[in-house]
Amino acid sequence: MTRVRIDLFSSLDGYSSSIDQTAGMGEDWGRLTQAYAATRTFRRQVLGDTSGAGTTGLDDAHAAAHSVGVGAEIMGAAMFGLHSFPDDPDWRGWWGENPPFGTPVYVLTHTAPRPSIPMQGGTTFHFRNDAIETVLAEASAAAQGADVRVGGGLRVARQFLRAGLVDDLHVMIAPILLDRGARLWDDLRGLERTHEVRTEVAESGTIHVTFTRQAA
Amino acid sequence: MTRVRIDLFSSLDGYSSSIDQTAGMGEDWGRLTQAYAATRTFRRQVLGDTSGAGTTGLDDAHAAAHSVGVGAEIMGAAMFGLHSFPDDPDWRGWWGENPPFGTPVYVLTHTAPRPSIPMQGGTTFHFRNDAIETVLAEASAAAQGADVRVGGGLRVARQFLRAGLVDDLHVMIAPILLDRGARLWDDLRGLERTHEVRTEVAESGTIHVTFTRQAA
């Protein structure tokens, strides 16, 4: 059964970002993601570090789970880079010729449609100017029983959350107070009534909160 | 060495209250404080339940620590009840003739000073229309080496926090989203730089966050 998943970072005071770095948070971004970037999984998967270095505790377990079982990805235009390079029809994303997705990736855009871009490693970028429910239906079909991950940015993630479309939300809360940035939790009152909440603390002090909708 | 302590409740999205119930949060108050009210310590100290019922895990350990080592208390006028009964010169607080403090209690007020009220059990209410630093100095002297607890309400607690006067902040975070109420964390950016942060999760799922200023 396909589930819709989101992973986000947040400070203790609820200033957040998705896993991409399009939010322009400066040094706060590094502090939010510090524990994640220290994991063995991140070092191996993102940095290509095969030495086995990195943390192996709860932070790493969540980092490893992040990329397992995903059959399709949805992201916003900013995360793909369309806002940064609006006039470049040949822009192919930030990730080089072999992006780390390995699945169809649906890019939400309000601009003129672009042709799909097949990349190496199983990633194909599709551009859709449709309602999020419509794009989700297409992504779900493409996922062929695996999960759909909403990768970000935060604004897109919050659109899906507010629409009640997310089955699994995982938030990594760094125990720091930022007092500025984009707010994660607004307009989500009562999410704990539709989803089961689990709270955990990693060795790094990071709080992991997961909201899980029970399968019908 | 006297330390200044505060205990607060918060939702995951940062809507908060102090331990008193003057915030008028309705059912949200009960949900914020549910894990605390379930502890054996609360049941014994507040409800007088000597049966030994109640939880005994991390929530209880924090509840027990709440009242140990306090030599003086500071609270706002609303918490004492002056806003609820402004025209009653004989108002003696919500707690009956034997209040649970057992120490001098300094009530911050902007109205005309009242005479101090000695109660049973070692509690004496004093009313002060002074700067918080001035009242804190008096309370610290009265504490005779024990700690000063800022009991609430939230507005008073935040005044002390923003002024950098708090050595130990303990926040019990219920894993629920309220999306309304009084905000705890505003204007406290960087508290983790002056205080050591510890995060823990109790059996109830409650997240306990403590900020501890290292003694000079």
What's the mean pLDDT in A109-137? 95
Model confidence band, residue A47 (pLDDT cutoffs 50, 70, 90): confident
What's the mean pLDDT in A71-93? 91
A178 interfacial to chain B (CB closer than 8 Å): yes
Task: Provide the 3-class DSSP secondary structure of residue A77.
Answer: helix
Q: Say which CATH number the domain at B190 has.
A: 3.40.430.10
ipTM entry: 0.91
B203 interfacial to chain A (CB closer than 8 Å): no
**Percent of chain A with pLDDT strictly greater than 70:** 96
- Chain A residues inside the 8 Å CB shell of B178: 189
CA distance A93 to chain B (A): 33
Model confidence band, residue A24 (pLDDT cutoffs 50, 70, 90): low
Q: Is residue B141 a contact partner of residue B133, using CB atoms and an 8 Å limit?
A: no
Closest C-alpha among A103, A70, A100 to residue A3: A70
Predicted local distance difference test score (pLDDT) of residue A18: 64
B164 interfacial to chain A (CB closer than 8 Å): no
Please give the single-letter amino acid code of residue A96.
G
Predicted local distance difference test score (pLDDT) of residue B25: 67
Size of interface A-B (CB pairs under 8 A): 73
What's the mean pLDDT in A29-46? 92
Region for B79 from its dihedrals, namely left if φ exceeds 0, alpha if ψ lies in -120 to 50, beta otherwise: alpha
B177 interfacial to chain A (CB closer than 8 Å): yes
Do A189 and B178 count as a contact with CB atoms less than 8 A apart?
yes
What's the mean pLDDT in A118-139? 97
A197 interfacial to chain B (CB closer than 8 Å): yes
Q: What is the pTM of this model?
A: 0.93
CA distance B194 to chain A (A): 11
pLDDT tens, chain B, 216 aa long: 899 999 999 999 999 876 555 556 678 888 999 999 999 999 998 888 999 999 999 999 999 999 899 999 999 998 999 988 888 889 999 999 999 999 999 999 998 789 999 999 999 999 999 999 999 999 999 999 999 999 988 999 999 999 999 999 999 999 999 999 889 999 999 999 999 999 999 999 999 999 999 876
What angle, 0 to 180 degrees and rounded to 10, lies between the N-to-C axes of helices B132-143 and B154-162?
A: 90
Q: Helical H runs in B50-205?
A: 58-66, 77-80, 132-143, 154-162, 191-194
Q: What is the mean pLDDT of chain A?
A: 93
Predicted local distance difference test score (pLDDT) of residue A111: 85
Predicted local distance difference test score (pLDDT) of residue B87: 86
Closest C-alpha among A2, A5, A24, A37 to residue A149: A5
Predicted local distance difference test score (pLDDT) of residue B1: 87
Do B188 and A13 count as a contact with CB atoms less than 8 A apart?
yes
| Residue positions counted in chain A | 216
Q: Helical H runs in B22-131?
A: 27-32, 34-37, 40-45, 58-66, 77-80
Model confidence band, residue A52 (pLDDT cutoffs 50, 70, 90): very high
- Report the C-alpha gap between B51 and A69 in whole angstroms: 50
CB atoms within 10 A of CB A156: 23
The residue written with tokens 């203790």 in the block is A12
- For residue A23, pLDDT over 60 is answered with no
Count of structural domains within chain A: 1
Q: Which of B58, B162, B199 to mutate to test the interface with A (most CBs of A within 10 A)?
A: B199
Predicted local distance difference test score (pLDDT) of residue A216: 63
A175 interfacial to chain B (CB closer than 8 Å): yes
- For residue A38, pLDDT over 70 is answered with yes
Domain limits at A176?
4-213
Distance of alpha carbon A70 from the chain centroid? 11
What's the mean pLDDT in A14-40? 81
List A residues 6-45 in contact with B (Cβ-Cβ < 8 A): 12-14
